[in-house]
Amino acid sequence: MANSTKDLFVFANLDGQFAPAGQLSLDEEGSNLIASSFAYGLRYLERSNAQEIDPVALTLKNKDEIRGRRLVPPNGLEAFGGIRDAAPDAWGRRVIEARLKVPSNSLPESTYLLEAGSDRIGALDIRSSLADQERPAHETIHNLSYLLDGAQKIEAGLPVSDALARILVAGSGLGGMRPKASVRDDEGILWMAKFPGNNDGPLDIPSIEYATIQLAELAGLNVAKTKLEQVGAKKILLVQRFDRSWNTASGPIEIRHHVVSALTLIACHESESPTKSYMDIADAIRRYCLVKKIKSDIEELYGRMIFNIFVSNDDDHLRNHAFVWDHQLKGWSLSPLYDVMPHAVIASERYQHLGVGPQGKLSTLDNAYAAKERFGLSPKDAMQIIDRIWRVTRQWRVHFETLGISDVQIERIAPAFRHIDAICSSDLRKLSLTSAASDAP
């Protein structure tokens, strides 16, 4: 198969306007990406509000070192993490393929990058020439039913009209596997709509994800803002975009914040995600995040790990942890929590996707507690976080009922929620009881 080199232009949205950030070259062999290189534009490097494309290989910390240089991805990877995070993931690829009427995964990476549209996650847009214009690509929140219909057809491999396909391609720049689209409400706020999937079976996944995110918030975690919408007989989860903020002081200007995944910070290939751990993410936070946020971000990460253990969210891979660019502080910090879905397994011995502690992925509090030093936590701090999360997750049924989740759905998801005695040795439980006055539900 013939090799070809594609030269693309990366734009970054700064203070509400796209500016050329640099030139990306991709070496491709058919649908395989072989290598990438990138050079920041000289004018971009002069901008005081420039956002880094990624903190590992494309950092702006030492501008003198990178001026005029072509940079390559770290660790022999074929793609830059910060660019891969701006590319469509499994769902977005299916939508683009449906519109272009081609088989799954048959397109070169450059085509997926170009097709994803300007409303993609983060602050970047990828265009084929400097003269290309922005392609805003969102629908109004009033068209959820139309979008749901289109998403179901695409998932089933059925044809959709070109007009609908174009609208859904708009949402193809959102990552992840589940069907979704980008929608704007009447105030101009952008949301990610997550639809029920054709293969969800009897589980009402949007409602359960919604209730679980609310539960995490009650447990003191920093979560994305969510709403649940009823469309016909189906529920749709709306998650407010945390990669956008709205500056209303000088008119409603939408500010875009670049987003990179933990996969990018750890600088590994996606296939290596199951070999990594929460401790690797903590190390990456120390290395790449804003100094004043390091302690609180690592504590929050520990809390999320404990929460994921209690609710059996075992889809906690490296792309389900993200970091957002802060324009004021000019650096990265942990994003709000998203994509938490309890997994109703029956096994008593359970495992997380990522490593938890010295016993690897084993999903127990003993394993997590034994790793506390790697998160900079004292025994008391770690125990307080565990107690705080348990005090809320033990009441999950009441919270789910209050949020309107039906009894049938509650019963279906119940096996996911773990009692502390199932995941905690009696020795550790005694310690926990002395640090908090709570007991079993």
Ligand X SMILES: Nc1ncnc2c1ncn2[C@@H]1O[C@H](COP(=O)(O)OP(=O)(O)O)[C@@H](O)[C@H]1O
Task: Select from ligand X, Mg ion, none the partner in contact with residue 322, using the beta carbon and a kind-dependent cut-off of 5 to 8 Å.
Answer: ligand X
Which of 9, 195, 338, 375 binds ligand X (CB under 6 A)? It is 338
Q: Is 71 in the site for ligand X (CB under 6 A)?
A: no
- C-beta of 178 vs 276, nearer to ligand X: 178
Q: Please choose, out of 41-49, 169-177, 356-364, 391-399, the segment that lies near Mg ion by the rule CB under 5 A.
A: 169-177
Rounded least distance, CB 176 to Mg ion, Å: 4
Among residue numbers 112 through 151, which ones bind ligand X (CB under 6 A)?
121
Pick from 71, 87, 174, 284 the residue near ligand X by CB under 6 A: 174
Q: Shortest gap between Cβ of 209 and ligand X (angstroms)?
A: 8
Q: Which stretch binds ligand X (CB under 6 A): 35-43, 174-182, 297-305, 421-429?
A: 174-182
Q: Could you tell me the smallest distance in angstroms from the CB atom of residue 55 to ligand X?
A: 16
Residue 241 φ then ψ, to 5°: -70, 120
Contact between residue 12 and residue 44 where contact means Cβ atoms under 8 Å apart: yes
- Does residue number 176 form part of the binding site for Mg ion (CB under 5 A)? yes
Q: How far is the CB of 259 from ligand X (least distance, A)?
A: 6
Q: Which of 21, 107, 167, 239 binds ligand X (CB under 6 A)?
A: 239
Q: Which stretch binds Mg ion (CB under 5 A): 78-86, 149-157, 320-328, 382-390?
A: 320-328
Alpha carbons 265 and 340: distance in angstroms, whole number: 21
Among the listed residues 19, 39, 177, 403, the single contact to ligand X using CB under 6 A? 177
Q: Is 339 in the site for Mg ion (CB under 5 A)?
A: yes
Among 97, 280, 300, 339, binds ligand X (CB under 6 A): 339
> Least Å distance between CB 422 and ligand X?
26
The C-alpha atoms of residue 276 and residue 312 are separated, in whole angstroms, by: 18
When asked if residue 242 is in the footprint of ligand X (CB under 6 A), the reply is yes
40 binds ligand X (CB under 6 A): no
Of 295, 302, 306, give the one whose Cα is nearest residue 333: 295
- For residues 180 and 118, the answer to whether their CB atoms sit within 8 Å is no
Residues 365-404 interacting with Mg ion (rule: CB under 5 A): none
Tokens of 295: 């302690």
Are 122 and 256 in contact, with CB atoms under 8 Å apart? yes
- Partner from Mg ion, ligand X, none binding residue 121, C-beta < 5-8 Å depending on class: ligand X
Piece of 241-249, 290-298, 344-352, 365-373 that binds ligand X (CB under 6 A): 241-249
Spatial contact of 29 and 2, defined as CB atoms under 8 Å apart: yes
Q: How far is the CB of 338 from ligand X (least distance, A)?
A: 4
**Binding partner at 6 among Mg ion, ligand X, none, C-beta below 5 to 8 Å by kind:** none
- Where helices occur in 10-103 by DSSP H, the ranges are 42-46, 63-66, 81-84, 90-100
In a 13 Å sphere around the CA of 380, the CA atoms on its Cβ side amount to 0
CB 183 within 8 A of CB 140: yes
Q: How far is the CB of 174 from ligand X (least distance, A)?
A: 5
Contacts made by residues 144-148, CB under 8 angstroms, sequence distance 24+? 144/183, 144/193, 144/229, 144/231, 144/236, 145/231, 145/232, 147/171, 147/181, 147/183, 147/193, 147/195, 148/195, 148/196, 148/231, 148/234, 148/236
* Beta carbon nearer to Mg ion, 178 or 394: 178
Q: Which residue is nearest to ligand X (CB)?
A: 176
| Comparison of 125 and 339: residue with beta carbon closer to Mg ion | 339
155 binds ligand X (CB under 6 A): no
Q: Residues 212-231: x/- map of binding to ligand X (CB under 6 A)?
A: ------------x-------
Which residue lies nearer to Mg ion by CB, 178 or 350? 178
Number of H helices and E strands in the chain, helices first, is: 16, 14
Which residue, 209 or 366, is less far from Mg ion as judged by CB? 209
CB 177 within 8 A of CB 90: yes
- Which tokens sit at 102? 């081609």
- Cα distances (Å, whole numbers) of residue 186 to 103, 142, 172: 37, 9, 22
Instruction: Give one DSSP letter per residue of 267-307, joined into a string.
Output: T--GGGGGG-BHHHHHHHHHHHB-GGGHHHHHHHHHHHHHH
154 or 377: CB nearest ligand X: 154
**What's the burial of 61, exposed, middle or buried (CB within 10 Å: 0-12/13-18/19+)?**
exposed
The alpha helices in 35-108, defined as continuous H runs, are 42-46, 63-66, 81-84, 90-100
Residues paired with residue 135 on neighbouring β-strands, in sequence order:
none
> Which residues of this chain interact with ligand X, rule CB under 6 A?
91, 121, 174-178, 192, 224, 239-243, 259, 319-320, 322, 338-339
> Which residues of this chain interact with Mg ion, rule CB under 5 A?
176, 320, 339
